[in-house]
Amino acid sequence: MSTINPLATITPVIPTNAYAGTREERQHQELQLHQIIRATVAEGGQDRVLLEMGQQRIPAQTSLPLKTGQSLELQVVALNPQLQLQVVTDPLTARLGQALHLLGGKWEFVPPLRALLSGTGAEGDELSAASREALQVWLGLQGEVVEKQQPEALRQLLLRLGLDLEAVLARQEGTGQGTLKAALLEVLARGGGEGREHAAHLVQTLELFQLAQVRLDQQGALLLPLPLPFLDQGFLVAEGGGEGADGKPEPQRLALHLALQGLGDLRVDFYQSEDGLLLRFACEGREQADFLAGFQGELRSALEQLPLTGLSFTTGVESPDKALIRRLLPEGKSVLDTRV
């Protein structure tokens, strides 16, 4: 598994609260976590440099050799107690940084899609029959997953997201017609108003999932987003399962990250080896862990055909969006200190 570590951390010399009420402080408050901003090196050097960000000139202390006139892309990684930025040095990280704000809040697909289908004019009736059918089929699969809990419906739901649309087009293996992304792109091309805004947000979310898949592929992992109506957020990461250097199969590891309505954040770890299956549930608190532990008898009965080697219920889970961000943007080592 290869890991790319392209970031350099920036830590301010003094706390930002020292500038409360100033123009710089107000501009700092307008920054958003994970936002990408551009800066130019106004005065370069080996130790101290001067960065130009918009109308501001910011003194910086750095171990990175920066040249006058050099352009930088910086990502906001912390706002309190001090502003922290990272120097972005690869295009994938830059694109991820520009889209990570989409991970906040609930990953909603059903309401905007229903709004598109019920729209009129450019937002609904002018869509091609194929695109309208794609939206209807995808919503129908959502219903089958929720009501009938059919694994095949979930597989079709994920396939019809269209996360491989560009790859299919590049290989000239089809048009991608029938996928959710292809239908939404048609809405963007034809529509206007609120319908177009819904489609734009969903397309950006799907493209974030595509970028995330590229990043996790670099780490030897597979990402499956789970945009389901009973989840606020959810995704699955699969690793291992191949052949090791000794020719023996590697243990397969699955991590299911969920934000459940009513139960809160939950991570379920699956470790599959020759000896059997090990399950671990990590919950928000002891109350949630004890609640799930009360159903372990039913769980063991459902898995009696598998050799279950271990089952545990713990606490200390992080939210799915934070867990995904941690996988997408590994921390860097080089340090650049700034004062704002």
DSSP per residue over 104-155, as a string? SS----HHHHHHHHH--GGGTTTS-HHHHHHHHHHHHHHHHHHHT--HHHHH
Please give the sequence-ordered ranges of beta strands (E in DSSP) within the chain, or none if there are none: 7-10, 36-43, 48-53, 56-62, 71-78, 84-88, 221-225, 231-240, 252-260, 264-273, 276-283, 308-315, 334-338
What pLDDT was estimated at residue 125?
A: 53
Rounded to an integer, the average pLDDT of 319-324 is: 95
Residue 104 CA: distances (Å) to CA of 31, 203, 205, 323: 16, 16, 11, 12
265: which 2 tokens?
Answer: 């954040």
Q: Which CATH class is domain 7-100?
A: mainly beta
Closest CA to 265 of 276, 257, 253: 257
User: What is the reported pTM?
Assistant: 0.72
Q: Identify which of 308, 242, 252, 323 has the alpha carbon closest to the alpha carbon of residue 277.
A: 308
Tell me the per-residue pLDDT of 34-46, one tens digit each, with 9 for 90 and over. 777 788 888 887 7
**pLDDT greater than 60 at residue 24:** no
Query: Any long-range contacts for 17-21 (C-beta under 8 Å, 24+ apart)?
Result: 17/81, 19/340
pLDDT of 259 reads: 96
Strand 252-260: give its sheet, edge to edge: 221-225, 231-240, 252-260, 264-273, 276-283, 308-315
Per-residue exposure over 98-137, b if at least 16 CB sit within 10 Å of its own CB, e if not = bbbebbeeebebeebbeebeebeeebbeebeeebbebbeb
The two structure tokens encoding residue 242: 């191949």
Of the listed ranges 75-79, 160-164, 187-191, 281-285, the least confidently predicted one is 75-79
- Contacts from 282-286 at CB under 8 Å and sequence distance 24+? 282/314, 282/315, 282/316, 282/317, 283/313, 283/314, 283/315, 283/317, 284/315, 284/317, 285/315, 286/315
Percentage of the chain exceeding pLDDT 90: 39
By percentage, how much of the chain surpasses pLDDT 70?
A: 83
CA count, 13 A, side-chain hemisphere, 200: 10
71 pairs with which residues across the strands? 40
Whether residue 54 is predicted with pLDDT greater than 90 in this model: the reply is no
For residues 253 and 239, the answer to whether their CB atoms sit within 8 Å is yes
Please state the rounded mean pLDDT for residues 278-292: 95
Residue 17 confidence (pLDDT) = 43
> Position 215: which residue type?
R
Q: What is the pLDDT of residue 245?
A: 67
What are the distances in angstroms from CA 82 to CA 18, 44, 76, 137, 289?
10, 24, 11, 48, 35
Average pLDDT, the chain: 81
Please state the domain extents for the chain: 7-100, 110-218, 227-317
Question: Does position 171 have pLDDT exceeding 80, yes or no?
Answer: yes
